Amino acid sequence: MHVAVLKGGMSAEREVSLTSGGAIEKALLALGHSVVAIDVSANVVDDLLRAKPDAVFNALHGRYGEDGCIQGVLEILKIPYTHSGVLASAVAMDKPMAKVVFEKAGIRVAKGVVAHKDELIAGDVMPRPYVVKPSNEGSSVGVKLVFEKDNFHFTKENWPYGETVLVEQYIAGRELTCAVLDDVALGVTEITIPTGFYDYDNKYTAGGSVHICPAQLPQKIYDEVMAMALAAHRALGCRSLTRSDFRWDEKGDGKIYILETNTQPGMTPMSLSPELAAYAGISFNELVARILKTARLDG
């Protein structure tokens, strides 16, 4: 096949996407495909029409690439593409809307509110500790933890992520993640952080986090995380590969809470989904091949 790899783009996750895209290009070439790499810009339509690909491998992360926007462009151009479609991508990326879907599907979420940023400038909108999140960014971009004694002041200057803010109850406990491929949960990884929390820097800096794969958990908890990840994948209407993140409040109420589902998980050397695939006996090249086989249009 002649495959266009979309990477880079205009989101806060551009650099990670470039790394993911580079790894995918290498795998596709090894699999015998011809590849054209497109660093996505406002000229993406012209670039795609010039490239004339049989399919697109979407390696974009974050806004415009993971939120249904590029998927809509590809639908209009009638070019089959990998990962989830327009609606699933848009809903998963919109954290407040995804929470509504999860709750309707019986998947446990943290208590939270959607507030205007002016409300946070005026003061706390829920009891501390809580987590402040952009409504539609990925990779923990803009996420802030606010604890009881923190000298935290929300200002317009430190919030370039839109008018609304998702504020959620902070769930203490263990950070877990589970990838789903072709409607099958691959396994569970626990993420431990030497310092701070699992923010953007700790995700993509060597030594910033430690992955324990498979997670050393009671079997009941391990199985429940896998079931919740698959339920989230299905509730959102996703296809191909997703990865859902969780907190297990081991020392509190003992319950597992879903944080979010990523429809375009990272494919870098430090990424969790390829690691979970390898644990399930799927090499990186095979993972890329299986994702490419799912390329299609929504309709």
Which residues participate in catalysis according to the annotation?
A: 13, 139, 204, 243, 245, 260, 262, 266
Nearest to 186 by CA among 233, 139, 220, 140: 233
Residue 289, CA distances (Å) to 77, 82, 181, 241, 271 in order: 23, 11, 12, 12, 17
The conformation of residue 81, written as its DSSP 8-state character, comes to: B
Residue for token digits 């009638």? 78
Q: In this structure, are residues 102 and 123 in contact, taking their beta carbons and an 8 Å threshold?
A: no
Angstrom distance (rounded) from CA 175 to CA 196: 13
Angstrom distance (rounded) from CA 142 to CA 199: 9
Structure token pair of residue 55 = 């399919």
Structure token pair of residue 90 = 């848009």
β-strand partners of 168: 112, 131
Angstrom distance (rounded) from CA 219 to CA 225: 10
Structure token pair of residue 110 = 């943290």
Q: Which residue type occupies 272?
A: L
Angstrom distance (rounded) from CA 183 to CA 133: 28
Q: In this structure, are residues 80 and 72 in contact, taking their beta carbons and an 8 Å threshold?
A: no
